[in-house]
Structure 1
Amino acid sequence: MNLQDFLNANPVDNLTEDVSISPRFKDEKGNPLKFTIKAMTPGEFEDIRKKATQIKKGKKVEFDNQLFNLSIAINHTVSPDFRNAESIKKLGVATPEDYVQKVLLAGELSTLVQKINELSGFDVAMNDLVEEVKN
């Protein structure tokens, strides 16, 4: 198999993984409850980045890191469904963003976003790439 065949056989638009983000999430038997996440495509990443970037007066660029992270979590978590209208209503919040902030601790959200980023290919350190090129 050559690289072209590999790429054709492994598209990234439906790449998912089950991950554990916190010891807080356990079933009644103490087994970890896992989140199902999906990878971001380059286009999805760019859309989220643009949504979180605003140009203010004087061409000053502001990046909303909280909106960026919430958007990644909401758009790339398959299960649980942070957009579930019944769950949003049940907790008395108005938006998926509010819901995520109501059900996840700050560190849990950070870990979830980190896992999504890793699945999306942002886990390879520059030193690892340099070593790979050398070999």
Structure 2
Amino acid sequence: MSNLQAFFAQNVDQTITIKQVISTRFKDEEGNPIPFEFQAISREREKEIRKSCTKKERDRKRGMKTIIDEDSFIDKFVAACTVFPNLKDSDLQKSYGVMGEVDLLKAMLLPGEFTEALLVAQEVNGYDKDMNDLVEEAKN
């Protein structure tokens, strides 16, 4: 395979997934922590999430300005990347007394656990890589 062919759509790994224990509070039958599973989302999906968290607000000096609700974006981003447990499962949502993936994730996780989930969601989407690290990796 030539170097250029490595970039062809059919040769690119489309399903980047990371399994990680986010909390030791969720255990299997043997008492082992159950890992959550996170998957990368498309750039288009990220743009949809960002747009849903964006609003226009009037500013006295500049007229209209665009504001992104960062907390809402982060919540929706992490929920969109979480593939296990299935946050869309209605029985799971009912067990926590919530409706919707974002509300379920916030009800399930403690603040520190949510931060860990965010870090993994960022990693699976390539946000954990420093450009200098990528250059070094490419050299080797």
TM-score range, shorter chain: 0.7 to 0.9
| Matches of 1:23 and 1:112, distance apart in 2 | 13
Q: Which residue of 1 aligns with 2:12?
A: 10
Q: What value does the CA root-mean-square deviation take over the aligned residues?
A: 2.2
> Counterpart of 1:20?
21
Q: Post-superposition shift, 1:103?
A: 0.7
Q: TM-score, normalised by structure 2?
A: 0.79
Indicate the larger mover: 91-100 or 75-84: 91-100
Q: For 2:77, which of 72, 81, 85 is the aligned residue?
A: 72
Bigger radius of gyration: 2
Contact 2:18 2:38 (C-alpha < 8 Å) held by counterparts? yes
1:89 alignment partner in structure 2: 94
C-alpha distance after superposition, 1:49-74 (max 9, x if no partner): 22222221232332212211221122
Pick one of 104, 110, 115 that aligns with 2:115: 110
> Would the aligned equivalents of 2:87 and 2:100 in 1 still touch at CA under 8 Å?
no
Distance in 2, matches of 1:2 and 1:23, equals 45
Q: For the residues of structure 1 that align with 2:12 and 2:85, how far apart are their CA atoms?
A: 25
Residue identity opposite 2:55 in structure 1? Q
TM-score (norm 1): 0.82
d(CA) in 1 for partners of 2:95 and 2:21? Answer: 24
* Contact in 1 for aligned 2:53/2:69 (Cα 8 Å): yes
Q: Deviations over 1:75-101 (max 9, x none)?
A: 121110112112212322233222111
Alpha-carbon separation, structure 1, partners of 2:20 and 2:3 = 28
How many corresponding residue pairs? 134
Paired-residue identity, %: 33
Q: Evaluate the alpha carbon distance shift between residue 36 and residue 51 of structure 1 in structure 2; reply closer, same or farther with a 3 A threshold.
A: same
The 3 A distance-change label for structure 1 pair 2 and 45 is farther
Equivalent position SS for 1:24: coil
Question: Which structure shows the bigger proportion of residues in helix conformation?
Answer: 1
How far does residue 39 in structure 1 lie from its aligned partner after superposition? 0.5
